[in-house]
Structure 1
Amino acid sequence: MSGAVWAHVGQPFEERAFDTVILGAGRMGTAAADWLRRTRPEQSLLLVEEGGLPNEEGATLLAAGLWEAPAQATDLAQRTLDCLEELGERAGWQPGVPLLTLETVPGPQSFPTAEALERWPELRGVIDPALWPWVRAQEAGLYRPGALALALGQRAVQAGAGLMLNTRAALVPGGVQLSRLTVTNTHEVVVHEVHQVQAGQVIVALGASGPQHAEESLGLHTRHGRAYVQRPRLNAPLTEQSPALRVPGLLLRPQSGGYTLYPAPRAADPHGYVPVPGRLSGVPVGLRREVLETLLTHMEGLPALASSALEVGRSLSDVPGTWVALPSGQPGHPPVLERLSPSVSLLLGGEQADVLGVGVAQQL
C-alpha cells in the first residue's frame, strides 16, 4: 500500500508519531527511506523535504554521478552498484563508460596517450600528450544522482513511506517540529502551520547543513565540515562514446555534448565563509579563487581549459555551485552514518557518495 504524500498546505496533516523520520530527500535520505521500507515494512516512516523531490538546491543535483570500482572492493560499493543496475534507466544508468586517468609516468596498466587520441580523436584539443604521455583506462558508469533520488523516493512511497514536501524541519526532544511552507501573492515563502511529531529515531540527511542542524538542535559538536564547490562547463565537442577524464584534483565528466568539471574541495571552508568570485587576468569571473587555482594548475596539460570553451561567468550565479558535506576521519571524505544520540543519527554523503553512498545508507 502506497504511503501518503503531503505536497502543499491544502492537504491536512494529522499524524502525531512515526517510528522513523528522515530529514532530507536527497540521494542519501531517499536511499535510507527506500532501504528501511524494504527491511522494516512494519515500521512507520516519514520523509521530510524543504523543497521538492529530489531536493532542488542540494549537492545531489550537481553530483557527478560516476561509479567506478574502488581500489579495494567493498560491500558498500557493490551495494551502490546493485541499486544502480536494479533501477537502470530510472536512475539514468549508463554502464561501460571509459574513465581515463592521465599520468606522467607509466603504470602497470598504462598505455600511450597517443593511442587514446587515435581512439577518441575529439580529445586532441583537450589533452596535451606531451605533458600527459600516459593514460590508464578503466570501466565506469554514469548516472543522474537527481534521478536516482527521485526513483528511490518514489519506491519508498510506493512501499508505504510518508512524504512531506515544502516543509522545514527542526529537531526537538522526542521528535521533530515540522513547519509547512507556502508562498504568498508577493512570492514570499512563509510558515503556514507548525506540527510536533514524535519519532522513535530521526535520520538527519540534510547534506552540508546537517551537522550544523544537529549541533544547534542537540548542542553536540561534530567534526564534519563543508565546502562551497562549483561545477563549471567545458564546451568540448564530445560524442556519446567519449570517456570521462581524471587528473589530480579534477574530474571531467562527459555530459550533454561537453564536459562538466568537478574540482575536488581542497579543505573545509571556515565557519561563516561567504563564497566570493575571483579574477582571471584581472577580469572578474564567477569562479571562486580555489577553483581557479585548480584549473590554472592544469591549463597547460589540458589546453581546452585556457580557451573560450571554458565557461567562467561574471558572477557566482553564472556558475552552478553548492555546499557539500565533508565528513572527516578518512582521506577523500567518504560517506558516514554517525549516531549522535540514542535516537538521532547523521547521514552524510561526502565526495565518495557516487560510489559508496547507497551502501552507507543501507547500514541503517
Structure 2
Amino acid sequence: MNASPSPAGQVWAHVGQRFTPQNHDVVVVGAGRMGSACALYVRQLAPHLRVLLLEEGGLPNEDGATLLAPGVWSAREPSGERLEGERLEQARWTRRQLETAFGDVSFAPRPLIRLFAEAGPDRSPTADALAPWPDARAMVNAPALPFAEVEQDAATYRPGAVALAAARAAVAAGADLMLNARARPVPGGVVVERLTVTNTHQIVTHETHTLHAGVTILALGADGPSAAEHELGLHTAHARAYRQVPRLNVPSDDTTPILHAGGLTLRPQHGGFTLIPSIHHRDPHGYAPTGGRLTGVPTGLRRETLEDLVGLMDALPPLGTGALELGRSVSDVPGVWLALPGGRPGGLPQHQRLQDGVHLLLGGPQADTLGLAVAYDLAATVAEVRKRPWEKSGF
C-alpha cells in the first residue's frame, strides 16, 4: 500500500499572516534557485524532516543573483575547459532536471559558438561555423576572430523561473515558506525578522522570532560567507565580485546561437543580447561599484568591464555602436554581487560544512551548469542518503 503524499507546507507572505514559532529540522536561508532546490530535494529525500525556507524579499528576489544569472547551460568551465568525470555527469543530470523537473523555464537547446584568433583542435573557420545564422555572422569581424568551435548541445533557460518552480514544488512537498523575512544564523537556529513597508516606503522590522533548527543551510549567495563570519565568527576562503550584465540591442530570435569571445558571452534574450562579462578577480572588502569613462564621458559600466568591451570592439563591431547600453551611472546597468567559491573567478559551485548543523551553499559563475547537482548533493548529505542520481549505479 502506497504512503499518502505529504500535505502542503504553510506559506507566510506578509506580516498580516500570524506566525507561531515552531521548531524545524532544516532551515534554508535564501530562496534563490539553489536554496529553493535544496529545500525541495530535502523534502523528496527525507519527507519526515520539517523544512522551512526563508527569503528576505519576494520570490524570486529581484535583488538576488538568480534573477540576473545568465541561464546558459554548457558542459564547459568559464575557461573553456571541458568538464570531465563526475562533474560532467553532474552537469548532464542538471540539464535533465532543467528540461523535465520544473515545468516551463524556457529551456531551449541552442548552439554556443566560441570565437578565437588562433587555430586549434576542433576549430573551424568562423565564416563556416556561423553560416547557418547570417544575423550572428554579421556581428563578427571574421578576420579578427577567424576560428570557431561549436558546442551543439548548449542551452538557455530562465534561472528565476527555476527558483519560483522549485520553491512552489518544495511547498507542495511539505516545506514551509516565509517571504519578507530577514534571517541571521545563531547557534542552534536562526533569528528571523519579519519585514514590512511603512506608508513612507521604509522597510522596517515588524516582529522578531528565534527559531530552533537541527540544520541551518546558508544559501545567501554572495552574502553567505559574510553571514558566516559576522554572525557565527567563522572565516571562509570564499569571496565575491560585482558583475554587470549590459544589453546589446542587436536583433536575436529563438534560433540565434550564443556567442563567446575574449571571455565575453553574448546570450540571446528578449529580442537582443545580454552580455555576460568575464570576472577577473575578487573584489576587495568595501569595494563600491563605480562607472568608468569612455572618451571622457561617464558610463554606468565599471572600468574593468568597459575596458574589456572596448578591447573587443574591433572583433565585435556592434559593441562600438549605440546598440550597446552604457548608461550614465552604475544604477543604469543591471548588476549583482556574485559569489566566488574558494575566492576564484572560476570557482565551481560547492557546499561546505561550517560547523555542526551549519552548511554553506554557494553557486557562483558555474551555477547555471552545476548548481542543481550541488544543491541535491547537500540535500542528500542532510537526508543521509548515500547514492547520487548522476552515479552510474543510480539510486
* 1:274 paired residue number: 288
Q: Where in structure 2 are the equivalents of 1:23-42 lying within 5 Å?
A: 23-42=29-48
Among residues 137, 161, 165, which one is paired with 1:147 in the alignment?
Answer: 161
- Checking the alignment, whether the CA contact within 8 Å between 1:125 and 1:304 is kept in structure 2 is no
1:339 aligns with 2:329: no
- Residue pair 2:239, 2:343 contacting (<8 A) in 1 also: no
Letter in 1 for 2:184: A
**In the aligned structure 2, how far is the partner of 1:281 from the partner of 1:167?**
45
Flag the 1:53–1:146 CA change in 2: closer, same or farther, 3 A.
same
Pairing of 1:222-233 with structure 2 (within 5 A): 222-233=236-247
1:301 corresponds in structure 2 to 315
Deviations 1:208-244 (A, max 9, x none): 1110011011111111111111000111122221100
Matched residue SS, 1:237: coil
Q: 2:151 aligns with which of 138, 143, 155?
A: 138
Match of 1:16, as an amino acid? Q
* Per-residue Cα deviation, 1:3-37 (whole angstroms, up to 9, x for no partner): 00000111111132100000000011011011101
Q: Displacement, 1:91?
A: 1.8
Asked if the contact 2:280–2:345 (Cα under 8 Å) also holds between the matched residues in 1, the reply is no
1:83 is the counterpart of 2:97: yes
Q: Over the residues paired in the alignment, what is the CA RMSD in angstroms?
A: 1.3
Would the aligned equivalents of 1:79 and 1:359 in 2 still touch at CA under 8 Å? yes
Q: CA 1:124–1:69 in 2, change beyond 3 Å: closer, same or farther? A: closer
Unaligned runs of 5+ in 1: none
Distance 1:197 1:228 in 2: 32
Amino acid at match of 1:234: L
Secondary structure class of the residue paired with 2:131 = helix
Counting only pairs closer than 5 Å after superposition, residues 114-193 of structure 1 correspond to structure 2 as 114-139=127-152, 140-193=154-207
Q: Are 2:195 and 2:206, in contact at CA under 8 Å, matched by a contact in 1?
A: yes
Q: CA deviation at 1:85?
A: 1.5
Q: Deviations over 1:139-177 (max 9, x none)?
A: 211100000111111100000000000000011121000
> Superposition pairs for residues 280-359 of structure 1, below 5 Å?
280-328=294-342, 332-359=346-373
- Of the three residues 239, 249, 260, the one matched with 2:263 is 249
Distance between the aligned counterparts of 2:196 and 2:236, measured in 1? 32
Equivalent residue of 2:138, what SS? coil
1:215 counterpart SS class? helix
Secondary structure of residue in 2 paired with 1:16: coil
Amino acid at match of 1:294: D
Offset at residue 286 of structure 1 (A): 0.5
Unaligned runs of 5+ in 2: 1-6, 77-81, 379-395
Contact persistence 1:45–1:162 (CA under 8 A): yes
CA distance in 1, matches of 2:168, 2:11: 10
Q: Does 1:66 align with 2:79?
A: no
User: 1:168-218 CA distances to partner (integer Å, 9 max, x unpaired)?
Assistant: 001112100010001111111110001110000000000111100110111
Corresponding pairs, count: 363
**Amino acid paired to 1:346:** L
The answer to whether the 8 A contact 2:52-2:176 is kept is yes
Structure 1 residues 253, 208: CA separation in 2 closer, same or farther (over 3 Å shift)? same
The 8 Å contact of residues 78 and 359 in structure 1, kept in 2 or not, is answered as no
Asked if 1:55 is matched to 2:61, the reply is yes
Q: What CA distance in whole angstroms lies between the structure 1 residues aligned with 2:345 and 2:304? A: 19
Match for residue 17 of structure 1? 23
How far residue 329 of structure 1 moved from its aligned partner, in angstroms, is 6.5
Between Structure 1 and Structure 2, which shows a larger proportion of strand residues?
A: 1
Which one of the candidate residues 88, 94, 99 is aligned to 2:112? 99
How far apart in 1 are the matches of 2:52 and 2:227? 18
Post-superposition offset of 1:357: 0.3
Using the aligned pairs only, state the percent identity. Answer: 53
Contact kept in structure 2, 1:92 and 1:142, CA below 8 Å: yes
Taking the aligned partners of 2:102 and 2:235, their CA distance within structure 1 comes to 39
Letter in 2 for 1:147: A
User: What is the rounded CA distance, in whole Å, between the counterparts of 1:4 and 1:262 in structure 2?
Assistant: 37
Return structure 1 stretches of 4+ with deviation > 4 angstroms: none
Look up the match of 2:376: 362
